[in-house]
Amino acid sequence: MKVEDKILLSEIRNRNRKVFEALFYEYYPHLIRYAEGFLFDKQVCEDIVQNLYIHFWENTHRIEIQLSLKSYFYQSVKNRCLNHLRDIHVQDKHKILYLEALLNEDDSPGWVDLEILKKVQEAIAQLPPQMGELFKQKYLFGRKLHEIAETNQISENTVKTQLKRAKEKMRKTLLETSSLRFFF
């Protein structure tokens, strides 16, 4: 680790708030942009980076930094973003199956709550046009990722990213609806 980083780390371990603030302002905007490369949701990215700084401040005596403060921050943001994506996938797996069942019903049987169906349809309508279209192709029409990518002339990674963003936006929109809190 560079001498400058050792000095900064030492000052932070001695609870020097000015050094910590300087470090925060030095890396914060860059870390947000880096996180957006994984998550595409500025608010979630800001939360992740802020939580990283809180963790760093509270645990600075236990943290071992090998290369540099900069590499520590970037690696930590990357890991937190990947953990977030993993958590979304685990949570969404069952919720998306339920949404698919709701959305695929032509004539709603008695067990389907029409209010929930309406809220889901409204949430889809609030998505940006291309994102909403990709979401419908995947979850309404059951198309494969490669088919969606080919039809829309975009890469499969772009489709995956857009679907992750759509699920996150859907979750946020549906969580704001109090009658759906049980669902999430």
24-37 confidence digits (pLDDT tens): 999 999 999 888 88
Instruction: Please report which confidence band the pLDDT of residue 98 belongs to, taking 50, 70 and 90 as the band edges.
Output: low
What pTM was computed for the model? Answer: 0.50
pLDDT of residue 144 exceeding 80: yes
What average pLDDT is seen over the chain? 79
Task: Note whether 163 and 117 are within 8 A (CB).
Answer: no
Locate tokens 């290369």: which residue? 67
Instruction: Please report which confidence band the pLDDT of residue 97 belongs to, taking 50, 70 and 90 as the band edges.
Output: low
Task: Note whether 165 and 126 are within 8 A (CB).
Answer: no
Q: Do 121 and 80 fall within a single domain?
A: no
pLDDT at 124: 83
Q: Is 66 left (phi over 0), alpha (psi -120 to 50) or beta?
A: alpha
Task: Note whether 77 and 34 are within 8 A (CB).
Answer: yes
Q: Do 79 and 137 fall within a single domain?
A: no
Overall average pLDDT of the 15-26 stretch: 92
pLDDT of residue 112 exceeding 80: no
Q: Let me know if 160 is exposed, middle or buried by CB neighbors in 10 A (0-12, 13-18, 19+).
A: middle
Q: Do 111 and 79 fall within a single domain?
A: no
Which residues have CB under 8 Å from 172's CB, separation 6+?
A: none
Residue 116 is classified by DSSP as H
Q: Which domain holds residue 126?
A: 105-180
92 within a domain of the structure (yes/no): no
Helix, coil or strand: residue 23: helix
d(CA 161, CA 74): 21
37 within a domain of the structure (yes/no): yes
115 within a domain of the structure (yes/no): yes
pLDDT of residue 87 exceeding 80: no
pLDDT tens digits, one per residue of 33-76: 888 887 778 888 999 999 999 999 998 888 888 888 888 999 89
Q: Which helix (H) or strand (E) holds 108?
A: none
Residue type, 15: R
pLDDT at 60: 87
96 within a domain of the structure (yes/no): no
Locate tokens 């090998």: which residue? 66
Helix, coil or strand: residue 180: helix
Overall average pLDDT of the 146-150 stretch: 89
d(CA 52, CA 37): 17
pLDDT of residue 177 exceeding 80: no
